[in-house]
Amino acid sequence: MLDSHVTAFLIGLAGAGHCLGMCGGISSLVALGTNAKLLYLALYNVGRILSYAVVAGLLAWLINIGQESIYIDVMTPLRTLSGVILILTGLYLLNITHLIIHVEKSGKWLWSLLAPLAKKMLPINSPSKSFIAGLIWGWLPCGLVYSTVLWSLGAATHGALSSATLLVAFGIGTLPAMLLTGVAAKEFKSLWQRYRVNYAFGMLLIIYGCWSIPLIQNQISPLFH
């Protein structure tokens, strides 16, 4: 089956449609009024992906803090949760249910604190502002990001560092949509919808999500031996 980092990358890539709607406007602002669009967009996205890694690593560290065995004790329920999240993400991509997006509500209180700071970064007219804006806007409430963070807690094999690198892989998967948003969003979105790429990714995530749930995996594994 797929490596967890490959899965994280595919989740990010599969969420292109959501990224265009959620962060497309921000990427356009980053690229607006500058001749160095790719540089500004690159720095913004490095900051954004770094913030994802910090969130995942911090949560994994908190789970494991003070007692090395805690992470092992909760691994089975975490893996079950991660499988369910993958399934719900796949169903979201298939446009069957938007239940997974409701987790965005959990981060609105934090964003209310960061929003004033984010506004101070506008207009984004320097490389340093682009990077800092990415660091801040990476905390923007996003159901896809939050669900991937929760998934990483169960999919990670070495605690905080592993969870953080999974979110880096996820962030890299979102790069095509985020970079193209600043220069060719309309064409990219048209191609994505025309070939229904999200449906293929949705089915893949559902299948892998089912396999990731320990109870299902234990029932199916003997069939391959």
pLDDT at 213: 81
pLDDT at 30: 67
Task: Write down the mean pLDDT value for the chain.
Answer: 76
What span, in angstroms and rounded, lies between the C-alpha atoms of 51 and 164?
A: 10
Q: Answer whether 84's CB lies under 8 Å from 102's CB.
A: no
Closest among 200, 110, 214, 93 to 147, alpha carbons compared: 93
Indicate if the pLDDT at residue 82 is higher than 70.
Answer: yes
Q: Answer whether 2's CB lies under 8 Å from 162's CB.
A: no
Q: Answer whether 16's CB lies under 8 Å from 174's CB.
A: yes
- What's the pLDDT tens digit per position in 100-155? 777 767 777 787 888 888 888 877 788 888 899 889 988 887 777 887 888 888 77
Beta strands in the chain (DSSP E): none
What span, in angstroms and rounded, lies between the C-alpha atoms of 186 and 110?
A: 31
Q: How far is CA 193 from the centre of its chain?
A: 20
Place of tokens 């449906």: 199
Q: What is the mean pLDDT of residues 43-48?
A: 91
Indicate if the pLDDT at residue 13 is higher than 90.
Answer: no
What span, in angstroms and rounded, lies between the C-alpha atoms of 167 and 169?
A: 5
Indicate if the pLDDT at residue 1 is higher than 50.
Answer: no
User: Would you give the DSSP letter of residue 105?
Assistant: G
Indicate if the pLDDT at residue 94 is higher than 60.
Answer: yes
What is the percent of the chain where pLDDT is above 70?
Answer: 70
pLDDT at 32: 59
Q: Answer whether 28's CB lies under 8 Å from 19's CB.
A: no
What span, in angstroms and rounded, lies between the C-alpha atoms of 114 and 47?
A: 15
Indicate if the pLDDT at residue 203 is higher than 70.
Answer: yes
Indicate if the pLDDT at residue 167 is higher than 70.
Answer: yes
Beta strands in 66-154 (DSSP E): none
Q: What is the mean pLDDT of residues 168-177?
A: 88
